[in-house]
């Protein structure tokens, strides 16, 4: 098999390699073409989503909240009022905010930590929403964490496993399907992440309004826009993983037809 032949296997599966002119191969190539178009569309959507997050955050980072408290102060208040011992710290970068349950810390980026803007306190409250999920035993986050180890393996090694299966010929179909199944856990992780993030945002808005950190429809709508823009990036991640899963599945099935 020459280098071009191996490239065709990666691009079209075995059916595209040794049955390129057959009806089956034509249908498969049509399927891969559709997946390629979808992948390109999602890539552009991802670029748009990231740009949208930055634009919305920058817009509302210029508008101070009526409460006048910094994001770090708001986060500490929310955590203490909910009986949490999680700490709040500053980290490097922009929009690198996160909650690390192992470290027991909410980390706020430089652009968020000391800011009293609506955007900053919305982001801080969102991370506190994740704290509340863990401490209340929120079911979806427990399920997501349960499949995380397998999802990591699937994200890292599923393509390699499928390629190994392809090189084994028809007998490698089972190996290919193992790779597909492992990537299925990565897709499931992304699917679970979306409602987890939406729930954290809903908790954030409820805590901010109940505590008086934002007041009036204008501020609430502004905070909601910031959180929705961020949530959209997770939707794009789900779509991207779904396309990758379908591609792996088509390649694995093409190996069975060899």
In angstroms, how far apart are the furthest CA atoms of the chain? Answer: 69
Q: Are strands 98-100 and 105-109 parallel, antiparallel or unpaired?
A: antiparallel
Q: What whole-number distance in Å separates Cα of residue 39 and Cα of residue 43?
A: 6
* Torsions phi, psi for 84 (to 5 deg): -95, 145
* Torsions phi, psi for 181 (to 5 deg): -65, -40
Find the catalytic residue in 127, 135, 197, 220: 127
Q: What whole-number distance in Å separates Cα of residue 196 and Cα of residue 191?
A: 9
CB atoms within 10 A of CB 168: 14
Does the annotation count 220 as an active-site position?
A: no
Q: What whole-number distance in Å separates Cα of residue 258 and Cα of residue 33?
A: 20
Which candidate, 176, 178, 196, places its Cα nearest to that of 237? Answer: 196
Indicate which residues carry an active-site annotation.
127
């Amino acid at each position: 098999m020459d280098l071009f032949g191996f490239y065709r296997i990666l691009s079209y599966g075995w059916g595209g390699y040794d049955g390129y002119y057959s009806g089956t191969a034509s249908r498969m190539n049509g399927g891969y073409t559709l997946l390629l178009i979808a992948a390109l569309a999602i890539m552009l959507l991802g670029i748009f989503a990231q740009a949208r997050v930055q634009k919305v955050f920058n817009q509302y980072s210029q508008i101070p909240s009526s409460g006048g408290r910094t994001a770090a102060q708001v986060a500490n208040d929310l955590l203490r009022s909910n009986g949490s011992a999680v700490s709040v710290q500053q980290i490097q970068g922009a929009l690198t905010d996160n909650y690390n349950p192992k470290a027991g810390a909410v980390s706020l980026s430089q652009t968020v930590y000391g800011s009293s803007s609506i955007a900053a306190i919305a982001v801080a409250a969102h991370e506190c929403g994740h704290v509340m999920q863990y401490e209340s035993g929120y079911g979806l986050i427990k399920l997501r964490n349960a499949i995380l180890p397998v999802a990591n393996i699937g994200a890292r090694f599923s393509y390699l496993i499928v390629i190994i299966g392809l090189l084994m010929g028809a007998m490698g179909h089972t190996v290919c399907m193992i790779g597909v199944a492992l990537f299925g856990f990565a897709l499931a992780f992304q699917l679970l992440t979306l409602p987890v993030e939406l729930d954290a945002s809903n908790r954030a808005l409820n805590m901010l309004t109940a505590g008086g950190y934002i007041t009036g429809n204008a501020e609430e709508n502004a905070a909601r826009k910031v959180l929705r823009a961020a949530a959209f990036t997770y939707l794009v991640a789900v779509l991207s993983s779904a396309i990758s899963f379908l591609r792996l599945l088509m390649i694995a099935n093409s190996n069975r037809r060899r």
